[in-house]
């Protein structure tokens, strides 16, 4: 998340510096780094630059000795290295190294192109594969694929670990370098090598233009008295979209609601506060924040500040391990201050605040300024929020993709064949889902599947058969959403 908004309901005395900062900086909540979707805040560039300059003047004396070594090293390499060295490369390397030395995955130097990408990603559409990520040791971990994105369609899941991009290992890459390799123009292709649990696999993904659709909603097909609202991110128009969704479903007869932030990696903090305010009675806490050297600041529901629209019907909120940052702020507020039950699985666990500040030239620095806590003061970082009703999705949801470019046939034996047998078993065919052998049972199951789907019947899995199997599994998962079904069951009992 990235720094904090003004709040008229502070419960603690706030220092002048923090108060001024809260006035001029619009915060963001989002897991830093994205395959093609970063979260960004609006900043008063002039005021932020002035603040940065004032801080520099105040600390210039103490910094001079420490920075002298950097200047000396720069001069030595520029004048004495056996080959000519590009000064920009040295400077960017120093900036990246300084930010990276902290060891915080959410703190990073952004060069001009990365700064531009960060700004572009909140303009309503961007080009990429559509997933949010973070650096984790030698891997780039997927926090969540965006709903409807190429990443989701390719079967990428929260906690998949990217090992390589187009054959290049990510072990020694910064998050920004990895993101730069994955991003690209619409219709271009990128190949990701991934690890899921102990299994490794590769997938080729065609990049696309990703519309930032914040809210999707409909009446439940079996019970039209229940409205379903999925919130996919916390973008600038999301508050208005949520209000519209509730009003339209109300007009169609909805009396109870399932809200869904599964796979939602976060977004703008001021929007998260506005949306939390919808569900919480004025005066009750939405969240807290802590900045170094300061007492916690408590943000409370306030119709005048965050919007007058209020929701007071029966509801539940669906969460999972892909629900991060702003999603967790909303979940915490709904659970603690509105008594709305949480259903699903423990959330991602990102409880820090980031800010983005421009540097002299075209670069920016994204850095952690503090941490946020739930309204009751719980820090969820690396722990997440535990649901009231814990229920997992079906086991087959985590099955790997079937590589359509490979051929699997009788007598083959491998982990990929084991995955294939598990897919066939999930689709209702009588095969041993634990077997790694493409045996006669597998052959017959494949032939039956091919016949039912009007594919050439040969008992071999490749091309069209592979793709159709993947689509059939995806449809099965959508029809057997155990978490959503539990939410409906809960609401119907009330």
Q: What is the DSSP letter of 360?
A: S
CA 444/CA 355 separation, integer angstroms: 58
Whether 88 is catalytic? no
The single residue of 127, 213, 336, 416 carrying the catalytic annotation is 336
The question of whether 336 is a catalytic residue gets the answer yes
Residue partners of 269: CB distance under 8 A and separation at least 6: 1, 2, 3, 4, 5, 26, 27, 28, 29, 41, 234, 326, 329, 353
Q: Identify the active-site residue in 135, 161, 256, 350.
A: 350
Cβ partners under 8 Å of residue 270, min gap 6: 5, 26, 27
Residue 489 among the catalytic residues: no
- Rounded Cα distance, 74 and 87, in Å: 8
CA distances from 419 to 145, 149, 466, 475 (A): 22, 24, 12, 17
With beta carbons less than 8 A apart as the criterion, state whether 313 and 257 touch. yes
SS3 187: coil
Point out the catalytic residue in the list 38, 144, 193, 325.
325
Q: Give the position of tokens 């019947």.
A: 457
- For residues 108 and 131, give the distance between their C-alpha atoms in angstroms, rounded to a whole number: 19
Cα–Cα distance for residue pair 19/306, rounded to 1 Å: 18
As annotated, the active-site residues are 325, 336, 350
């Amino acid at each position: 998340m990235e720094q904090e908004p003004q709040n008229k309901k502070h419960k603690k005395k706030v220092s002048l510096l923090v108060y001024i900062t809260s006035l001029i900086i619009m915060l963001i909540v989002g897991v830093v780094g994205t395959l093609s979707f970063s979260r960004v805040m609006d900043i008063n560039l002039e005021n932020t630059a002035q603040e940065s300059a004032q801080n520099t003047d105040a600390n210039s004396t103490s910094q001079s000795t420490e920075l002298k070594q950097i200047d000396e090293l720069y001069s030595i390499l520029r004048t004495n290295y056996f080959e000519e060295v590009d000064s920009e490369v040295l400077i960017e390397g120093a900036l990246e190294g300084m930010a990276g030395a902290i060891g915080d995955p959410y703190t990073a130097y952004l060069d001009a192109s990365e700064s531009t990408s960060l700004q572009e990603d909140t303009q309503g559409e961007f080009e990429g594969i559509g997933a949010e990520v973070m650096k984790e040791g030698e891997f780039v971990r997927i926090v969540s694929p965006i709903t409807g994105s190429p990443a989701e369609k390719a079967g990428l899941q929260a906690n998949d670990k990217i090992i390589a991009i187009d054959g290049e290992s990510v072990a020694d890459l910064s998050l920004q370098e990895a993101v730069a390799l994955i991003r690209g123009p619409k219709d271009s292709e990128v190949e990701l090598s991934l690890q899921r649990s102990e299994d490794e696999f590769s997938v080729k993904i065609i990049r696309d233009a990703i519309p930032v659709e914040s809210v999707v909603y409909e009446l439940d097909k079996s019970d039209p008295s229940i409205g379903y609202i999925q919130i996919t991110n916390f973008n600038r128009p999301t508050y208005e979209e949520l209000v519209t969704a509730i009003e339209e479903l109300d007009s169609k007869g909805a009396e109870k609601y399932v809200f869904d932030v599964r796979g939602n990696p976060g977004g703008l903090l001021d929007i998260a506060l506005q949306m939390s305010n919808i569900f919480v009675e004025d005066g009750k806490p939405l969240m807290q924040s802590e900045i170094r050297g300061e007492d916690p600041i408590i943000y409370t529901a306030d119709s005048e500040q965050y919007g007058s629209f209020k929701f007071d019907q029966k509801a539940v909120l669906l969460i999972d391990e892909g629900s991060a940052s702003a999603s967790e702020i909303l979940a915490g507020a709904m659970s603690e201050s509105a008594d709305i039950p949480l259903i699903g699985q423990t959330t991602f666990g990102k409880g820090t605040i980031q800010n983005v500040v421009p540097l002299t030239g075209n670069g920016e620095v994204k850095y952690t300024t503090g941490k946020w806590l739930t309204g009751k003061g719980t820090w969820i970082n690396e722990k997440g929020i535990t649901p009231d009703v814990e229920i997992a999705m079906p086991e087959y949801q985590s099955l790997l993709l079937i590589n359509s470019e490979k051929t699997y046939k009788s007598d083959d034996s491998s982990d990929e064949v084991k995955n294939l047998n598990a897919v066939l078993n999930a689709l209702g065919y009588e095969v041993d889902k634990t077997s790694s052998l493409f045996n006669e049972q597998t052959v017959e199951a494949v032939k039956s599947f091919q016949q039912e789907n009007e594919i050439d019947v040969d008992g071999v899995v490749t091309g069209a058969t592979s793709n159709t199997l993947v689509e059939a599994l995806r449809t099965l998962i959508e029809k057997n959403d155990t978490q959503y079904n539990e939410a409906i069951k809960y609401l119907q009992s009330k």
